[in-house]
Amino acid sequence: MIYLVTLANYMCVEVDSKVGEPKYPQLPTFLNILMVINTFIYYTFQHIYAVFIATYAVSSILNTFLLVYVVHWKNTGGKMGKKIFKGTVIGYLIIAFPIWLVDMHCCDWVLTNVADNMHGLTLHVVWHLCAGYGAYCVLVTLEYCRMIALKIPCTCDFWLGFIPITRRLLPKDEN
């Protein structure tokens, strides 16, 4: 997840740059070095969970601010970009994060009293499903915003009513 958030941060920063002309050409090198350092720190201090939480929280908070900037302040993806981004907010922030907090702080109680009745569907599993959905929506939001910023004709449909799928419109589709 740390790598995914770092990638999404890069995508936010470069969402409206011209093809082949990044605004910050040294940023990928910097972020790669940062991720190597971050990985080293994580493996060195993996027995201290607060180190992981601190590094992940900083990246995630930065990503949230960058996404809000791109989607809401700059209005890069218009109404559809905001609609796709809503999936991130619901999946990751409203559902997954509170479930993760309960799972982290009440794991033994949940496993003893709830998990047996749910046939193995623990809160940790639900957290992974919702966090994965939220992360997917982050990438689709940025994909859609990038196509809009580059003036590439595109559309977004919602499979099963909640899974966003963007596609580039070809000339025959535009009619």
Half-sphere exposure of 20 (CA within 13 A, CB side): 0
Euclidean distance between CA atoms 162 and 84, whole angstroms: 9
Q: Where are the domains of the chain?
A: 2-174
Q: Quick one: tokens of 151? A: 């003036």
pLDDT tens, residue by residue, 77-132: 999 999 999 999 999 889 988 888 887 777 666 666 665 666 667 778 888 899 99
* Cα angle: 109, vertex 110, 114; to 5 degrees: 120
Handedness of CA 44, 123, 100, 113 (dihedral sign): negative
* Cα angle: 19, vertex 28, 131; to 5 degrees: 95
pLDDT tens, residue by residue, 150-170: 999 999 999 999 999 999 998
* pLDDT top residue among 140 and 123: 140
User: Whole-model pTM?
Assistant: 0.85
